[in-house]
Structure 1
Amino acid sequence: METPKKGKKACTECRQQKAKCDVYLNPDEPCTRCRKVNAACVVSDPFKREHKRKRISDLERESEDLRRKLRASQPAGPHPSPIALLTAAAEMGVHTPASDALSGSPQPLPSYPPQLLPPTGLENGAPVPALDGDTTKPRTLNGIQVSGEEADDLFQLFFRYYAQFLPILDPQTRPNTYYEQSPFLFWAIIGVACRAYSRNPTLLMALARSIIEMALLSTLSVSPPSHTIQGILLLLTWPFPKGDHPDVTFPMGGILLHIAMQNGLHIPMSSHEFSRVKIAAPSEPDLLRRSELWAHSVIVYQRVCVTKGQLPRALGNLGQDPAQRQVLFEKIAPWMALKLRCQELIAKCSEAAMENGMRTMSPDQERALDIILRMYEDQVDDLELQTVTDDERFDTALCRMAIQSFHFYKNPTSVSSGCYQRILVTACSLVDYIRLLSDRVGFLSMVPVQMGFALLLASTSLLRILKSNAASQGLETSRARACLFAAINLAQQMSVDSADLAAKTVTVLKAVWNSNKAFRKMDGSEYNSLRIRSRLVLSPILDVVWWWRDEFDPGSRSVRSVVEPAQGNAYARSRYSGVADAGLRPVSDTNREITGATAVSGTPERNDAFYLDEQFLADFEWALGDDALFSLDPLPSNWAATNNLL
């Protein structure tokens, strides 16, 4: 009887990779492939090939379990999740009242897990921390002095309440050492922490302009670039309220990204190739720190673009090939990778929506947009399966809310498809998260800008749907109303200055909610289209502000009353249409229909006049700085010259 032939043996490494193996030629020696990659060459009959994606998923799950056990064994250490941190503090009885936090009472500093420690610098040699017995020195910036005691209080506040949202700095480093490392980073920490410092409430606006100037000049600093990146990250996460300085948030986001790329953070494993002097390849701990700092830079940069209504660059356009991106996601913590993936979805969805066309949309384009949005919402569903903590669920909810905001570009005849109901659910979940955070911490002045933007996007979406006819077509609105009113109260808690975005949000929401003219044509019928259509996720927010200024902005009414009677409705319409073509608002078919109706009746048009109140609307990004894109004097003396420029 003939014995059946046995197949050629292959080692486990080659079998895992489905690679050709020649170990059978010489069983006593490693195969050619294993010798080449310096891998262990083992032949095992019971070996079973493991699916790579499943293995990565299992490793991430195991890593998260180990981190959870580590945090449970260290009661004093915070969780990188703000909600989990506040919950643990409350359960352990170490949560201090909000009044103590605002006054700057000294509290024990947390110690971050190893993977959250700050980079040691992109150059060799980190400064040695000061001795414990050293007294913090007073510092002065353009005539504004911060005493050593105030600096200690502010650093305590920062690491107890702010750093949990952006864990990039070492809480054990003394203020003196931070100043020696980088004066800009020192003042950035002070500028963030003084937002709610009741012992000296004048510091915030007194220091704002000087710190912003330091940020813009930091590119010329001799300090390690890591400190410059960290300082800019702080200022973009907690931007200063509008004051006597221009809004440079958007250009500063570009500076952040370019400094990081100039120093090779976008390719952490090869960042030594970007050094002017020959240095060794980064060690494993340094590789981890560089990867996390790059992830933070991308996340903050993309958030800045979204909140300013600009298209952010996706990771694929930042000089990384797929293998490098995979290494990045493997190195950084799972919660950080989730934030990065959420921002990537928003960036890709915004780009797809722009390619589809947004200013004037045909029925086919609207159907295509609906398909695009459903595709990206399905991807958010996949991300939600990976969430563990409340703040991770906040990230996915904000991602979903940003994607769903593009539904407002379509005509609201798609209410039957359920998009409005889904928007209400998402918006309410965002408000609930921030309300839960407020209940646990007692105050919201320390929350980062993305939470304020989430509250603004959710509340304006709720407002628009509740003021529409869709509210009477079977939608559950009682919970939506309660969440809208809760959002107004939460925005009041977030405000640190009458000129900040939270304070202006309260003004707009209250006025538009009580208005009988908002989202209505002159005949009282519903105006069911966005007039602001060039600012991506920000457009629905700006559209609500436009309705507010139409009715409640005295400057807008004064310009309209002077210009329209003098020039006639037809002349005003032609001039305003020219402004729309320049980017203020689209001249859609719906707009033309309304214009035609008002022209016949001879009634002045409420919605076509334009006026840029730069003091109020700067935070809503009608312009990128102090100067308006277009300006008109209250009197029409220079009207013709201004229109020649348009």
Structure 2
Amino acid sequence: MDGSPLLAAGGGASLSPTSPVSVRSIIGINGMSGMNGMNGMNGMNGANGAKRKRSISHAVGTGFDSSPGSVLNDDDANDQSEKKRQPGVKRACNECRQQKLRCDVIQDPFQSCSRCDRLKLSCKIESNFKRIGKRSKHAEMEKEIERLRRNVQQARAQGYVVNDDNEDDSMTHSQLQSPIINNNIYSHTRNPSLMGSDEAVSSLLHLKRGGSYSLPRIVRELEEVRLTDEGEAQLFQDFWLFYHPFLPFLNRNLSPEQYYQQHPLLYWSIVAVAARRYTLDPTLLTAISSPLNTLLWKTIGDVPGSHFVVKAMCLLCTWPLPTSTTTSDPTHILCGVMMKTATGIGLHRPNHINDFTRVAVELNKDQLHDRVVTWAVCNIVAQNVATGYGQPASSLYDWTLATRSGESGPFQLSPELEARLQIERFCDKVSKEMYSNASDSRGVAGDEHRSILMRVFRREYGELYADVTSRCLSPIVQFHLKAAGLHLRLAGFFDSSATVGYLDDLMGLWRSTITFLEEILTNSTVSSPSSPQEHISIDTLKHATNYLQQMLVAAGFALLKLMRSFFSQAINYDQGRQLFHRTISAIRSTSVVHNDLQWRLAELMVQMWNGARLETQQGRSGMDDDSVLRMDDTLQLKVRCRHSMSLVFDSIWHWREEYQARGRGSLDALKHPTNPDSANESTASSTHMDSGLSNLPTAHSLPNLLGTSNGTLTPVTTGLAPPNGMIGASLTYDTNPSNYDFFDPQHWMLDNLLDFNYSYVPPMEGA
């Protein structure tokens, strides 16, 4: 080769670390043995090819190269490289590669190797084939066998008998126990990572012959709660029939499995809501509360990025899990997390979702509509929580939720959700204008300003009422429409007797209270829109949302407060009295667990009714001449920082002060609560509730009620008359004001009196 610096004598190459290299030239030179360099290069084949590969590795590893004038130039190297990349290169089949054995497969034309032919194996060559380690595979199989053995043992321990001659001797008959299993749901103590293994166990047991067993298939489990096929189907059916009409934003056409795939929290939230009235297992709601709370806050702690988690939080804010006290109720906090999560993932800007994601996302029409609906429901729920708890709302009524009449597309909501959104927008406006005064320490608008706002909102509510009513929507929409009117009118308790139009405001409050209660009590049973063919009815009181329950309590306290005041002379007292009794029964019917907050508040109202000092005559009709009324300021509220719900908290404060003045009170109506039914009331047969109205104790007769040494109230012919068979526990107050929780007076009031575990279920009469 011209210009190549070759050594003539020794047959070696002059190596230079800085000169351009050709690896093949090194191989050719090193491979010369008894022949010249060029013949040695051209004669390499067969076994010398393997030496060439080893030489390449050695040369590259040491960093040495030949000079540019090597025997094999760059063109020859490129030719050899092209030959290596040709598909005809010899390669072992998959089976031989797995075993690391020699293979004589022929690729062109393809002929199976002798080993695969001898062992009847499928001989094939795949470019993406990867070897599988035997040890890891065997370890996995051993784990699976051990897992199945444990599950079979658990099935036998539950009482399922399988005839098998090859039973494990370690499984003695003493290990079999009588099963106490609900036909749909039961508990377990297994590792959640073994989810789904029961299906394999069930299949194994059903392969046996002669056995007497009936093992339902477990489809889902959350800690110690397991669901069978039948239980899951029934729970989801109950949800669609009885709860979904109150907040219709989920897709009923999706299966439970699809909801679980969307997010486990959404799946279990649906189950928890349906478990509130699940008759096949009344303990399910209590059993699922703790593991669902754990799952909820773990999901929140991991910073959720899915709008399916937002849907789950919407459900849990609408139907909260039962709690023992109001301060342990996380609904208000969870609502804030829900709104921040929604805005954090861009639900309020669905057209610009990529501004809130790390990867590019393209939403189709259905996905865009799903996010718009979820954002609308977030605002509806947030406003309900704010109104029901008497707190500032975290709702955000932006461009996405703007009303666009006549427009169709992904931003168009269903008529029911559109109406609900209008109603909650009105409630938000009332709260912000009435109770967000920056010049007042309590945030309440001044008397004059509030009077003007009341006239403006009355007219606006009239227009809203006419608009929504004309659409002929479901009774549930009417419930919320009447609740919005009550929310507006409850501001009348903030007025003083000197306020202009004071009696008119009180009369408007009375009418709104009566209208709301009549609406929700008269339509306590409505047809479910989810099953028009089956004509299934919904008990609206039993399945009502937390917001409707709170407004029902507010209406009951409003009725009680008006009928205990001078205003009782201006109203139909008999109508109010009967309606109050019905309201007490309705509040008790909304109780999910015995002794929960709704149950306690109903009993508290009854005691306030019994202890009322009324100067009125039964059957006296309302008076047209308002001048005869001797007005006072007893209707004004002391608690004024909880918006329209200030009435509820003020009434509880009043209850405490009134009963503490008499001594240490007692609520002993757990086993046999005070009977609120007065449908057949008469002078001779009045209920406990009415016993205190005709013959009320005066100040000088008050010590007669405190004649015992243990501090409990002793029943007399009038006043607080506890029913027969009551629990004889003495429950006392904490007289140290520093121990009171001023954030929520319901907490200390109800805690100190009735802090019972929810697992306690009082026995029913006749049981």
The TM-score bracket by the shorter chain reads 0.5 to 0.7
Q: Output the CA distance in 1 between the equivalents of 2:376 and 2:663.
A: 43
In 2, the alpha carbon distance for the partners of 1:234 and 1:104 equals 27
The answer to whether the 8 A contact 2:652-2:745 is kept is no
Task: Tell me if structure 2 keeps the 8 A contact 1:265–1:271.
Answer: yes
Q: Cα gap change, 1:155/1:379 in structure 2, threshold over 3 Å: closer, same or farther?
A: same
Residue among 745, 757, 762 paired with 1:622: 745
Inter-partner Cα distance in structure 1 for 2:373 and 2:580: 36
For the residues of structure 2 that align with 1:432 and 1:610, how far apart are their CA atoms? 42
Deviation at 1:459, TM superposition (A): 1.3
CA shift digits 1:6-38 (9 cap, x unpaired):
xxxxxxxxxxxxxxxxxxxxxxxxxxxxxxxxx
Q: CA deviation at 1:189?
A: 1.1
Relative to 1, partners in 2 of residues 1:346 and 1:608: Cα closer, same or farther, differing over 3 Å? farther
Report the counterpart of residue 86 of structure 1 in structure 2. Answer: none
* Cα deviations by residue, 1:400-444 (Å, 9 ceiling, x for unpaired): 111111111111455654112211221122212222332444643
Shift of 1:291: 1.5
Q: Deviations over 1:582-641 (max 9, x none)?
A: xxxxxxxxxxxxxxxxxxxxxxxxx99775998xx99x9438xx899x99xxxxxxxxxx
Give the conservation status (yes or no) of the 8 Å contact 1:233–1:256.
yes
1:146 match: secondary structure: strand
Please state if 1:258 is matched with 2:340.
yes
Partner in structure 1 of residue 377 of structure 2? 296
Aligned match for 1:476, one of 549, 560, 572: 572
Determine if contact 2:249/2:374 at 8 Å carries over to the other structure: yes
For residue 250 of structure 1, report the CA deviation from its aligned partner. Answer: 0.8
Residue 287 (structure 1) aligns with:
368
1:511 corresponds in structure 2 to 607
Partner Cα distance (2:379, 2:312) in 1: 15
Residue deviations 1:71-91 (CA, integer Å, cap 9, x gap): xxxxxxxxxxxxxxxxxxxxx
Q: CA deviation at 1:460?
A: 1.2
Instruction: Tell me what 1:142 maps to.
Output: 223
Give the equivalent residue in structure 2 for 1:493: 589
Matched, 1:392 2:488: no
Residue 458 to residue 449, structure 1, CA distance change in 2 (3 Å): same
Aligned partner (choices 368, 376, 379) of residue 457 of structure 2: 376
Deviation at residue 531 of structure 1 after TM alignment: 1.1
1:323 Cα deviation (Å)?
7.8
**Contact 1:445/1:493 (CA < 8 Å) preserved in 2?**
yes
More displaced, 165-174 or 195-204? 165-174
Alpha carbons 1:136, 1:175 under 8 Å: kept? no
Name the structure 2 match of 1:354: 435
Q: Which has the larger radius of gyration?
A: 2
The answer as to whether partners of 1:299 and 1:343 remain within 8 angstroms in 2 is yes
The TM-score, its normalising length taken from structure 2, stands at 0.52
Name the counterpart of 2:518.
Answer: 432
* Higher RCO (CA < 8 A, seq sep 6+): 1
TM-score, normalised via structure 1 length: 0.61
C-alpha contact (below 8 Å) 1:495/1:503 kept by paired residues:
yes
CA spacing shift, 1:349–1:541, aligned 2, 3 Å: same
Alpha carbons of 1:243 and 1:476: their partners in 2 closer, same or farther (altered >3 Å)?
A: closer
Q: Which whole-Å deviations, capped at 9, do the CAs of 1:495-523 have from their partners, x for residues lacking one?
A: 1113433212211211111113699xxxx
Q: Does 1:457 find its partner at 2:538?
A: no
In structure 2, C-alpha distance between the alignment counterparts of 1:627 and 1:219, rounded to whole Å: 29
Q: Unpaired runs of 5+ in structure 2?
A: 1-181, 185-202, 204-215, 527-536, 616-631, 666-732, 753-767
Residues 195, 411 of structure 1: CA spacing in aligned structure 2 closer, same or farther, 3 A cutoff?
Answer: same
Residue 488 of structure 2 corresponds to which residue in structure 1?
403
Q: Per-residue deviation at 1:374?
A: 2.0
The residue that corresponds to 1:344 in the other structure is 425
Backbone CA RMSD of aligned residues: 3.9
- Which letter does structure 2 place at the counterpart of 1:270? H
The separation in 1 between residues aligned to 2:322 and 2:748, in whole angstroms, is: 17
Q: SS where residue 328 of structure 2 aligns?
A: coil
Contact 2:388 2:551 in 1 (8 A): no
Query: Structure 1 pair 200/556, CA: closer, same or farther in 2 (3 Å)?
Result: farther
Cα deviation per residue 1:141-184 (whole Å; 9 max; x = unaligned)? 23233333222221111111111112222223332332233221
Matched, 1:546 2:653: yes
Taking the TM superposition and a 5 Å limit, the aligned residue runs for 1:169-188 are 169-188=250-269
% identical aligned pairs: 22
1:365-415 per-residue CA deviation (whole Å, 9 max, x = no partner) reads 212211112212221111112113333332221111111111111114556
Kept in 2: contact 1:159–1:171 (CA 8 A): yes
Which deviates further from its counterpart, 253-262 or 164-173?
Answer: 164-173
Aligned mates of 1:360, 1:447 — CA distance in 2: 31
Shift of 1:287: 2.8
Task: Count residues with an aligned counterpart.
Answer: 438
Number of the residue aligned with 2:564 = 467
Which residue of structure 1 lines up, in the alignment, with residue 637 of structure 2?
A: 530
Contact 2:317 2:385 in 1 (8 A): yes
**Aligned AA for 2:420?**
K
After superposition, the Cα gap between the structure-2 partners of 1:337 and 1:516, relative to the gap in structure 1 and judged at 3 Å, is same
Distance in 2 (alpha carbons) for counterparts of 1:195 and 1:462? 29
Q: Which has the higher helix share?
A: 1
Paired residue for 2:154? none
Q: Distance in 2 between matches of 1:434 and 1:137?
A: 40
Q: 2: CA distance between counterparts of 1:531 and 1:153?
A: 48
8 Å contact from structure 2 (residues 317, 381) kept in 1: yes
Could you say which residue in structure 1 is the equivalent of 2:623?
Answer: none
Per-residue deviation at 1:556?
A: 8.4
- Go from structure 1 to structure 2 and tell me whether the alpha carbon gap of 1:371 and 1:189 turns closer, same or farther (over 3 Å shift): same
Structure 1: runs of 5+ lacking an equivalent = 1-102, 106-133, 520-524, 559-606, 632-646
Q: Give the 3 Å change call, closer, same or farther, for CA 355–194 of structure 1 in structure 2.
A: closer
User: Over residues 42-71 of structure 1, what are the superposed CA-to-partner deviations in whole Å (9 max), with x where a residue is unaligned?
Assistant: xxxxxxxxxxxxxxxxxxxxxxxxxxxxxx
- Give the alignment of 1:549-568 within 5 angstroms: 549-552=656-659, 557=664
